[in-house]
Amino acid sequence: MTVPSATGLPPRVRIHEVGARDGLQNEKTAVPTEVKAEFIHRLAAAGLTTVEATSFVHPKWVPQLADAEQLFPLLSDVPAELPVLVPNERGLDRALALGATRIAVFGSATETFAARNLNRTVAESLAMFEPVVARAKAAGAHVRGYLSMCFGDPWEGAVPVPQVVRTAKALLDLGCDELSLGDTIGVATPGHVQALLGELNAAGVATGRIGVHFHDTYGQALSNTLAALQHGVTTVDASAGGLGGCPYAKSATGNLATEDLVWMLDGLGIETGVDLAALTATSVWMAERLGRPSPSRTVRALSHKE
């Protein structure tokens, strides 16, 4: 359907698909390794060019992704970049041994979440990431730095922009190629998003190095994404079918659904390379394996019509 296109927005957006990692690590249902592999193959076949595959975290902490060593070799023919999360040097060793070329570390903008999630202060976690990033870069890998709790924190409330900028800069100073700003609990609104992006620019961080990662807990993820696009952001994290959830808002949905994002980008005439029908079919297929419907409104609307 041809509709008027928007002006002042980027012509192309790269979607960083997180369903297989951020999505599945929050799902209660155990997913067999072969199903994960097929999921990732199907996501790439639907046109996604960056598909975060798994996490080389200790199985004790994220049992859902304990099969990273078995899964990753099944993905060698996937025509997409396949970043993997690594929490520390041990995780990096495991990822590099399997040939990973894109890794990600996961930091926190707040002390409370750093303490609860990483069992460290923010400064200690940055110190832990330092050799991880340095060695990854030395091995030729691309490094993404996730920064969680960039807008609100369940214990600390609104997170001051200067505090987020400081930690974001520190992650980039370690050598991260790109940053993913996470609204982990989904409380952000568009003005806050644009304010943070503006302050990051003022601190010398180019918009091209910034990705955004919104959660839909309060239904704000897509509006916040629009605000980020209007600021010039061209990397957007999303999760196929809206997979995953936030452990701090159990009844709420989790990540921005890739399909809802693609619907908007298609309508805006912004190229993604994604085939929405193929992606929706993949999310319906995955939802069947998880035994529950997709929370994505676009998936529900399109699959109902089929």
Q: What's 21's DSSP letter?
A: I
Helices 221-231 and 190-202, packing angle to 10 deg: 30
Q: What string marks each residue from 148 to 187 as x (binds a second copy by CB under 8 A) or -?
A: ---xx----xx--x------------------------xx
Q: What distance in Å separates the CA atoms of residue 263 and residue 26, rounded to the nearest whole number? A: 25
Which one of 21, 36, 41, 192 is in contact with a second copy (CB under 8 A)?
192
Q: What distance in Å separates the CA atoms of residue 270 and residue 12, rounded to the nearest whole number? A: 5
> End-to-end alpha-carbon separation of the chain, Å?
18
Q: Does 218 bind a second copy (CB under 8 A)?
A: yes
Report which of 109, 90, 97 is spatially closest to residue 69, judged by C-alpha positions.
97
Cβ closer to a second copy: 85 or 212? Answer: 212
Total binding residues toward a second copy, as defined by CB under 8 A: 54
Q: Does 300 bind a second copy (CB under 8 A)?
A: yes
Q: What's 297's DSSP letter?
A: H
Report which of 55, 141, 62, 131 is spatially closest to residue 96, judged by C-alpha positions.
141
How far CA 92 is from CA of 85, 99, 129, 133, 181, in Å, comes to 9, 11, 10, 9, 22
Residue 246 known to be catalytic: yes
The answer to whether the CB of 153 falls within 8 A of the CB of 117 is: no
Minimum Å gap between C-beta 286 and a second copy is 17
Which residues, numbered 84-143, are part of the site for a second copy (CB under 8 A)?
none
Q: Does 247 bind a second copy (CB under 8 A)?
A: no
Q: Does 226 bind a second copy (CB under 8 A)?
A: yes
Which residues, numbered 7-66, are part of the site for a second copy (CB under 8 A)?
7, 9
Q: Does 188 bind a second copy (CB under 8 A)?
A: yes
Q: Which residue in 20, 104, 200, 246 is the catalytic one?
A: 246
- List interacting residues with a second copy (CB under 8 A): 1-7, 9, 151-152, 157-158, 161, 186-192, 194-196, 216-220, 222-223, 225-227, 249-253, 257, 260, 263-264, 266-269, 296-298, 300-301, 303-305
* Active-site residue list: 246
